[in-house]
């Protein structure tokens, strides 16, 4: 079963995160919704827990099936992550050759030692002291280790699950969601906006909340065998209204929650949104199921992973042009006590146009990387899995359909 509408949501959220990271002084910069769009990484975590449960619940019953699951998930997230990480290297080499930067090449964010922790997907486990290299990729690290945790939980509760008794799995998942939330609340000084330090626990909070949403969805969907409606499924007319309310609530919540304690509720808010839109019953669902939104959903992982590279090229290009033109192309702006260095070409509308062009470039590049990096990467690891062991009845080796593939993604 595909959840096409959730794919559409994922694409919109990925573009919102990309716009959040654009440090340019246009009309978008001070919009509350844009400034809070880093919260959509929590939407990705919740959605990931939902679709991973949908795709693999009851299929991880022994060590080989768990290993196959992890190989497949690694093949889903790592190839593009590795290629984008490698693409940052020539930019640092160029910085060393050209000079003129306030920070030496391969220092600070681009420390060589951090390159290896990034490549090994360890950089959301507290081993780094700041954001490094492809900044949004911290959530890929956190999510992969959430996969490991999910597989371990499935193995620990496999006997009960095999008998159709999933209460143990549900209880452990709820506990992990609470633990993740407790660590973030107790130790993060930026509320939900934690990444390289407590990012794994932030992901646990969202991922296992998503698992619980799937269990709720499974209990409230139409019962095919009886042709009736399971208790808990809202009427179609009510769902249509709930979709509109969810959209308004998300916009208001994201705009109001940036940088404050309200952000800690993000996984819970997005859990409600995911649950409502799994029924695909309203006008917004029909819109999100159209081809443009579906394409964007398909490319969403690439959107999330490549936009920081596009921004790095834009920033370096603007720095070079600034020197050539002899006029400033950057300005400093202080918001909420934080001073940012922002691109500014002298006109707010010109910067708005830059934002639109930037999003178009990211989208086109994402379509290319999806076709030539993501798909071949998945195919390679699927073939590797075939060579590693014979196909298992509990975990067939074909790739999970794209609609069941979770995407991520931060600040």
Interval 219-255: pLDDT, tens: 876 443 344 555 555 666 677 889 999 999 999 999 9
Residue 73 forms part of a structural domain: yes
Q: Is 141 helix (H, G, I), strand (E, B) or coil?
A: helix
Position 409 in a domain: no
Per-residue pLDDT, averaged over 201-227, amounts to 81
Q: Which helix (H) or strand (E) holds 229?
A: strand 228-229
Alpha carbons 390 and 143: distance in angstroms, whole number: 27
Please identify which residue in the block is written with the tokens 């964010």: 109
Counting residues of the chain whose pLDDT is more than 70, the rounded percentage is 87
Q: Tell me if 336 is assigned to some domain.
A: yes
Per the structure, the count of domains in the chain is 1
Burial letters 217-236, b for 16+ CB under 10 A, else e: beebeeeeeeeeeeeebbee
Residue 411 lies in a domain: no
| 112: Cα within 13 Å, side-chain hemisphere | 3
Instruction: Give residue 107's pLDDT.
Output: 86
Q: Is the pLDDT of residue 400 over 80?
A: no
Token pair recorded at residue 118: 């990034």
Number of Cβ within 10 Å of residue 390's Cβ equals 8
DSSP state of 390: P
Measured on CA atoms in the order 217, 221, 226, 231, is the torsion positive or negative? positive
pLDDT at 42: 97
pLDDT tens figures, 45-84:
999 999 999 999 888 888 888 999 999 999 999 999 999 9
Is-contact 212 170, C-beta < 8 A? yes
Q: Residue 76 sits in which domain range? A: 4-404
Q: Is the pLDDT of residue 357 over 70?
A: yes
First to last CA, the chain: 31
Buried b (16+ CB within 10 A) or exposed e, 336-361: eeeeeebbbbeeeeebeebbeebbee
Give the pLDDT band of residue 339 (cuts 50, 70, 90): confident
pLDDT band at 163 (very low <50, low <70, confident <90, very high): low
pLDDT value, residue 266: 97
Q: Which two tokens stand for residue 201?
A: 């626990």
User: Which residues, 6+ apart, have CB-to-CB distance to 159 below 8 Å?
Assistant: none
Would you say residue 99 has pLDDT above 70? no
How far apart are the C-alpha atoms of 252 and 350, rounded to whole Å? 27
Give the burial class of 50: count Cβ atoms within 10 A of its Cβ; 0-12 exposed, 13-18 middle, 19 or more buried: buried
* Coil, strand or helix at 222: strand
pLDDT for the residue 358: 97
User: What is the Cα–Cα distance from 284 to 239, expressed in whole angstroms?
Assistant: 10
Counting residues of the chain whose pLDDT is more than 90, the rounded percentage is 66
Residue 39 burial by Cβ neighbours in a 10 Å radius (0-12, 13-18, 19+): buried
Across the chain, mean pLDDT equals 88
pLDDT, residue 132, reads 94
Give the C-alpha distances (Å, rounded to integers) separating 297 from 73, 117, 225, 262, 349: 18, 29, 32, 28, 28
Residue 410 resides in a domain:
no
What is the secondary structure of 309-378 as a DSSP string? HHHHHHHHHHHHHHHHHTS--EEEEEETTEEEEEE--S-HHHHHHHHHHHHHHHHHHHHHHIIIIIHHHH
Whether the pLDDT of residue 334 is over 60: the answer is: yes
Residue 333 has what pLDDT? 83
Measured CA to CA, the distance from residue 193 to residue 176 in angstroms comes to 19
Task: Give me the pLDDT at residue 134, please.
Answer: 96
pLDDT per position as a tens digit, 254-263? 999 988 999 9
Average pLDDT over residues 175-191: 96
Does the pLDDT value for residue 326 go beyond 70?
yes
The model's pTM is 0.90
Contact yes or no for 404/75 (Cβ under 8 A): no
* Tokens of residue 357, six digits: 């062009």
Give the C-alpha separation, 240 to 238, whole Å. Answer: 5
Query: Is residue 242 included in any domain, yes or no?
Result: yes
Residue 330 domain-assigned (yes or no): yes
Kindly tell me if the per-residue pLDDT of 406 is higher than 90: no
Q: Is residue 300 part of a domain?
A: yes
Which residue has 């070409």 as its token pair? 345
- pLDDT (0 to 100) of residue 395: 52
Structure tokens at 105: 């090449």
Task: Write down the pLDDT at residue 160.
Answer: 64
Residue 393 or 16, more confident: 16
């Amino acid at each position: 079963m595909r959840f096409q509408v959730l794919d559409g949501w994922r694409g919109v959220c990925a573009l919102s995160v990309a716009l959040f990271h654009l440090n340019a002084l246009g009309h978008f910069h001070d919009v509350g919704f844009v400034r809070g769009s880093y919260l959509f990484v929590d939407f990705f975590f919740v959605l990931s827990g939902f679709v991973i449960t949908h795709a693999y619940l009851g299929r991880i019953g022994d060590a080989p099936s768990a290993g196959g699951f992890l190989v497949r998930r690694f093949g889903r997230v790592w190839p593009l992550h590795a290629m984008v990480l490698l693409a940052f290297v020539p930019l640092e080499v160029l910085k060393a050759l050209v000079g003129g930067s306030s920070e030496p090449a391969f220092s600070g964010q681009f420390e060589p030692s951090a390159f290896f922790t990034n490549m090994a997907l360890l950089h959301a486990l507290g081993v780094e002291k700041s954001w490094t290299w492809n900044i949004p990729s911290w959530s890929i690290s956190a999510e992969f280790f959430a996969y490991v945790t999910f597989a371990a939980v499935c193995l620990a509760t496999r006997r009960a699950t095999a008998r159709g008794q999933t209460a143990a799995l549900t209880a452990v998942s709820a506990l992990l969601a609470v633990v993740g939330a407790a660590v973030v609340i107790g130790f993060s000084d930026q509320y939900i906006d934690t990444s390289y330090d407590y990012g794994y626990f932030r992901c646990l909070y969202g991922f296992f909340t998503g698992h619980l949403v799937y269990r709720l969805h499974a209990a409230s969907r139409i019962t095919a065998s009886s042709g009736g409606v399971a208790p808990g499924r809202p009427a179609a007319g009510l769902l249509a209204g709930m979709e509109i309310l969810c959209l308004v609530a998300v916009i208001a919540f994201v705009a109001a929650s940036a940088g404050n304690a309200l952000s800690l509720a993000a996984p819970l808010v997005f859990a409600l949104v995911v649950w409502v839109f799994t029924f695909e019953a309203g006008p917004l669902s029909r819109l999100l199921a159209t081809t443009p939104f579906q394409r964007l959903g398909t490319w969403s992982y690439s959107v999330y992973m490549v936009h920081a590279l596009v921004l790095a090229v834009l920033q370096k290009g603007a720095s070079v042009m600034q020197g050539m033109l002899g006029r400033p192309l950057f300005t400093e702006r202080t918001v909420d006590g934080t001073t940012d260095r922002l691109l500014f070409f002298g006109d707010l509308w010109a910067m708005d146009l830059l934002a639109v062009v930037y999003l178009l470039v990211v989208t086109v590049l994402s379509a290319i990387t999806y076709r030539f990096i993501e798909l071949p990467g998945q195919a390679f690891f699927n073939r590797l899995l075939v060579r590693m062991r014979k196909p298992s009845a509990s975990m067939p080796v074909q790739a999970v359909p794209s609609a069941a593939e979770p995407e991520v993604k931060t600040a």
